């Protein structure tokens, strides 16, 4: 980028990025897709994913997933979300995710590690935090920025805002359907841990359950390639120490 281009476009991009702020952490980030568009894309990707999956017929476990989900949704302050919580019958898959707009899937393979309602709340709170913080759209927007370069993107937004937004949506749509499980960055993971703890505390769950859950996850990593969830969520000592250090903040949100 030449100095002139830098001088012309970086303030513009900075202004654009400053338009979006992550709840609780107040971090500014670049998101080129509107929340409405994101919700629509999440909904269609969710339909695709469920069509390929088998829903659990374990009524008790499904009810637990929905109860935890509803409790977190009730405090998430996202009236625009179309919340949905499903348990997928797949004992070999240790995983869970939340698509934009509040579309949550939990795989039965993770239940032996979550163990109880608090453990399940830790996982669902973390995944819902990714959606609240709009990490998927942030990743796509960063990808677009890397692809076009900051100057080109700045110029495109200035001259053709609608066309550029469409491009962002296409990039996002492709990612949302094939890339539900693309790993988030470590910074996003750490942010989702922090927000997830706050969410579960607001919902009345003890956030300290996260330390126990990640300890069990770390043990489950033991042999072989490790479960799916671990490939995108390393359960190392640093993560657990970071979570420990965030507990006082989260406990401030526990209902009085």
Residue with tokens 């300890």: 215
Count residues binding Zn ion (CB under 5 A): 2
Nearer to Zn ion, 127 or 151 (CB): 127
Q: Give the Cα separation of 214 and 191 in Å (integer).
A: 16
Q: Of these residues, 37, 38, 84, 127, which one is catalytic? A: 127
CA distances from 241 to 175, 203, 212 (A): 32, 23, 12
Q: Are 199 and 70 in contact (CB under 8 A)?
A: no
Q: Supply the minimum distance, in Å, between the C-beta of residue 192 and Zn ion.
A: 5
In the complex, the smallest distance separating the C-beta of residue 1 from Zn ion, rounded to whole angstroms, is 32
Shortest separation between residue 233's beta carbon and Zn ion, angstroms? 5
> For 226, left (φ over 0), alpha (ψ -120 to 50), or beta?
left
Count Cα atoms within 13 angstroms, Cβ side, for 141. Answer: 19
Question: Least distance to Zn ion from the beta carbon of 129, Å?
Answer: 8
Kindly tell me which of 33 and 133 has the beta carbon lying closer to Zn ion: 133
127 is known as an active-site residue: yes
Q: Which CB, 38 or 189, lies closer to Zn ion?
A: 189
Of 175, 45, 69, give the one whose Cα is nearest residue 127: 69
**φ, ψ (nearest 5 deg) of residue 255:** -60, 140
Of residues 159 through 198, those in contact with Zn ion by CB under 5 A are: 189, 192
Give the pairing type, strands 28-29 and 20-21: antiparallel
Q: Which is nearer to Zn ion, 192 or 195 (CB)?
A: 192
Which are the catalytic amino acids?
Answer: 127
Interacting residue ranges for Zn ion, rule: CB under 5 A: 189, 192
């Amino acid at each position: 980028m030449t100095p002139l281009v830098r001088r012309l476009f970086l303030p513009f991009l900075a202004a654009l990025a400053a338009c979006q702020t992550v709840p609780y952490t107040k971090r500014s980030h670049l998101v080129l897709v509107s929340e409405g568009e994101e919700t629509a894309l999440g909904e269609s990707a969710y339909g695709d994913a469920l069509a390929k999956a088998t829903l659990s017929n374990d009524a008790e476990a499904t009810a637990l997933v929905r109860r935890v989900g509803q409790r977190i949704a009730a405090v998430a302050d996202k009236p625009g979300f179309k919340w949905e919580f499903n348990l997928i019958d797949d004992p070999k898959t240790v995983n869970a995710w939340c698509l934009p707009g509040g579309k949550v899937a939990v795989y039965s393979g993770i239940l032996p590690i979550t163990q109880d309602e608090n453990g399940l709340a830790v996982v669902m709170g973390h995944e819902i935090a990714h959606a609240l913080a709009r990490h998927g759209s942030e990743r796509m927007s960063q990808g677009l920025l890397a692809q076009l370069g900051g100057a080109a993107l700045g110029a495109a937004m200035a001259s053709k805002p609608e066309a550029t937004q469409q491009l962002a949506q296409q990039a996002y749509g492709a990612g949302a359907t094939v890339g539900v499980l693309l790993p988030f960055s470590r910074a996003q993971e750490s942010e989702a841990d922090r927000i997830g703890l706050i969410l579960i505390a607001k919902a009345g769950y003890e956030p300290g359950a996260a330390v126990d859950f990640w300890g069990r996850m770390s043990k489950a990593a033991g042999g072989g390639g490790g479960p799916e969830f671990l490939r995108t969520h390393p359960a190392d000592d640093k993560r657990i120490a970071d979570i420990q250090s965030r507990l006082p903040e989260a406990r401030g949100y526990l209902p009085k």
